[in-house]
DNA sequence: AAGCCTAGCAACCGCATGTAT
DNA sequence: CATACATGCGGTTGCTAGGCT
């Protein structure tokens, strides 16, 4: 499938570029802008982000695009048998709590799981149900499944707390303040240098729309989904595979 | 070859929840 | 405590590609 067709439900295919329209399918250019911006500064405020990233999109749309498609830790492609079975099992336990399911399936998003369920697994579940008539209702917790012992389970309690709002910053951020998105490989000295100094991004960041800096090779940064971490002069950054956090240095 | 149908998937929408003021 | 704002979640829509007739 063409990954970025320009189309609009209202005006028809390719009548108006998405970058002008600000809705519809994302163009390669928009993806690059968003990806580069978040890698450089993090998603400190989704509502404001598109303005600074130079995108004609609403924050919600940017968030969705990042979460469901651009995040470097995402798996794309077909599901393994184990994943299918796990989704079926989780649906049995959780019902339509897609985000909760996504937590147990590293690299998969709630949207993706939901789509996969509706397009494929629902049928499989139905055929299974025919074979085994005594089917539990979704959300009904079975005794054998009541205790989650999934090795990939991680709750917010497992993470260090997100940063407090700093006295100098007027913007609160739940996850990452002007953070460079960090994964392994991308925390090399050269990588950090290519972004510029961490001690000075804030001023331009608040006042200038972001322009994509193509001087670094993004594919190198996106090639790894392994957890990683690095330090700036003031904050400690770490990436747990799905979220980026930072902590004031004194916390460590 | 052309038209129709359908599966798959990206994206949108509205509501719920969490957090700051 | 009330309100506003930001974010997250789940349901739904609509487009494309590919198979079928």
Of A40 and A235, more confident: A40
Q: Looking at the C1' of nucleotide C9, which residue has the nearest alpha carbon?
A: A99
**Residue numbers in A 151-180, CB below 7 Å of strand C:** 173-175
Does the structure show a pLDDT above 80 at A96? yes
Nucleic strand C under 7 Å from the C-beta of A27:
no
What band does A128 get if pLDDT is binned at 50, 70 and 90?
low
Mean pLDDT of all residues in chain A?
Answer: 58
Q: Which residues fall within 8 angstroms of residue A104, CB to CB, at 6 or more apart?
A: A86, A90, A150, A152, A153
Does the structure show a pLDDT above 80 at A3? no
The pLDDT, as a whole number, for residue A56 is 86
The pLDDT, as a whole number, for residue A160 is 31
DSSP code at position A156: G
Nucleic strand B under 7 Å from the C-beta of A108:
no
Does the structure show a pLDDT above 70 at A89? yes
The pLDDT, as a whole number, for residue A77 is 78
A112 CA – C9 C1', rounded, Å: 13
Q: Can you tell me the distance from the alpha carbon of A71 to that of A243, in angstroms, rounded to the nearest whole number?
A: 10
Tally of CB atoms within 10 A around A154:
16
Q: For residue A180, with 0-12 CB atoms within 10 Å meaning exposed, 13-18 middle and 19 or more buried, which class applies? A: buried
Using the CA of A58, give the nucleotide whose C1' is nearest.
B12
Average the pLDDT over each of A106-110, A131-135, A212-216 and give the range with the smallest value. Answer: A212-216
Does the structure show a pLDDT above 50 at A7? no
Per residue in A162-214, pLDDT (tens digit) is: 333 333 333 333 333 333 333 333 333 333 333 333 334 444 444 455 555 44
A5 CA – C18 C1', rounded, Å: 17
Does the structure show a pLDDT above 60 at A43? yes
The pLDDT, as a whole number, for residue A208 is 55
Does the structure show a pLDDT above 50 at A251? no
List the domains of chain A with CATH numbers: 18-72+162-251 (no CATH), 81-135 (1.10.10.60)
Q: Can you tell me the distance from the alpha carbon of A90 to that of A96, in angstroms, rounded to the nearest whole number?
A: 9
């Amino acid at each position: 499938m063409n990954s970025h067709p320009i189309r609009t439900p209202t005006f028809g295919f390719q009548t108006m570029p998405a970058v002008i329209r600000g809705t519809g399918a994302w163009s390669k250019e928009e993806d690059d802008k968003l990806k580069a911006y978040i890698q450089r500064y993090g998603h400190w405020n989704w509502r404001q982000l598109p303005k600074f990233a130079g995108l004609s999109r609403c924050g919600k749309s940017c968030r969705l695009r990042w979460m469901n498609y651009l995040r470097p830790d995402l798996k794309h492609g077909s599901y393994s048998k184990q994943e299918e079975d796990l989704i079926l099992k989780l649906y049995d336990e959780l019902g339509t709590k897609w985000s909760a399911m996504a937590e147990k399936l590293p690299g998969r998003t709630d949207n993706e799981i939901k789509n996969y369920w509706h397009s494929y697994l629902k049928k499989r579940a139905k055929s299974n149900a025919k074979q085994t008539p005594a089917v539990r209702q979704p959300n009904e917790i079975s005794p054998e499944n009541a205790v989650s012992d999934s090795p990939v389970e991680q709750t917010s309690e497992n993470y260090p707390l997100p940063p407090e709002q700093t006295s100098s910053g007027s913007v609160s951020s739940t996850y990452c303040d002007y953070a460079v998105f960090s994964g392994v490989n991308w925390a090399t000295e050269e990588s950090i240098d290519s972004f510029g100094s961490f001690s000075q991004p804030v001023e331009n960041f608040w006042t200038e729309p972001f322009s994509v800096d193509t001087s670094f090779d993004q594919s190198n940064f996106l090639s790894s989904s392994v957890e990683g971490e690095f330090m700036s002069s003031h904050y400690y950054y770490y990436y747990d595979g799905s979220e980026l956090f930072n902590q004031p240095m004194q916390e460590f």
